[in-house]
Amino acid sequence: MWHTSAMAPTEMTVFEKDPSAGLNAAVAAELRAERSAQKMTIDILAARSGIPKRTLLRLLNAERGVTLASLFAIASALTVDVVVIVQRAEERLARDEEGAVGAGSVTALPTSRRVGPAMATVGDAPGWGEDVVADDSVPYAAHTVEMSAADEAEMMEESP
């Protein structure tokens, strides 16, 4: 292959060397998801695609690069258009990259101002008993709040 100073190596080189990363891994994940959604066994997929079982497992687990030939064979066996698999893989890759940007950040958990009947009795245990002011920025309360009998009855009616 000819290289000029204008042809710098791209990220694609990294993906080719590491099949468990990038688009290859995303394609493998989409193929696994489609196989799972169709409840198709590996044995059946191997037979329909004409790809040996061991090779198929390595492709689906992103241990080996997915070639166009193997992608077409697997997609055909799954009766899914190759374009659909690649589009889903690109979307997955974009979501994964967006998630990596926020890596290490904390996502606020939903909070509730009510406590269940079991938690209402925890307040009777030694060491507990201070009321807690509800604060939506706290994912959970370290102490319990007292619950009226009416609230407890209402909660029991709402539970399945």
- Which tokens go with 74? 């697997």
Print the SS3 string covering the chain: CCCCCCCCCCHHHHHHHCCCCHHHHHHHHHHHHHHHHCCCCHHHHHHHHCCCHHHHHHHHCCCCCCCHHHHHHHHHHCCCCHHHHHHHHHHHHHHHHHHHHCCCCCCCCCCCCCCCHHHHHHCCCCCCCCCCCCCCCCCCCCCCCCCCHHHHHHHHHHCC
pLDDT value at position 40? 95
Residues of the chain with CATH 1.10.260.40: 11-101
Do 59 and 25 touch, CB atoms closer than 8 A?
Answer: no
Q: Report the range out of 28-32, 117-121, 132-136, 141-145 with the highest average pLDDT.
A: 28-32
At 19-73, the pLDDT tens digits run: 778 889 999 999 999 999 999 999 999 999 999 999 999 999 999 999 999 999 9
21 burial (CB, 10 Å; 0-12 / 13-18 / 19+) is middle
Predicted TM-score (pTM) of the model is 0.53
The pLDDT confidence band at residue 157, using thresholds 50, 70 and 90, is low
Q: What is the mean pLDDT of residues 135-146?
A: 47
Superfamily name with CATH number, domain 11-101: lambda repressor-like DNA-binding domains (1.10.260.40)
At 77-128, the pLDDT tens digits run: 999 999 999 999 999 988 887 776 544 444 555 554 444 454 444 445 554 5
pLDDT surpassing 50 at residue 13: no
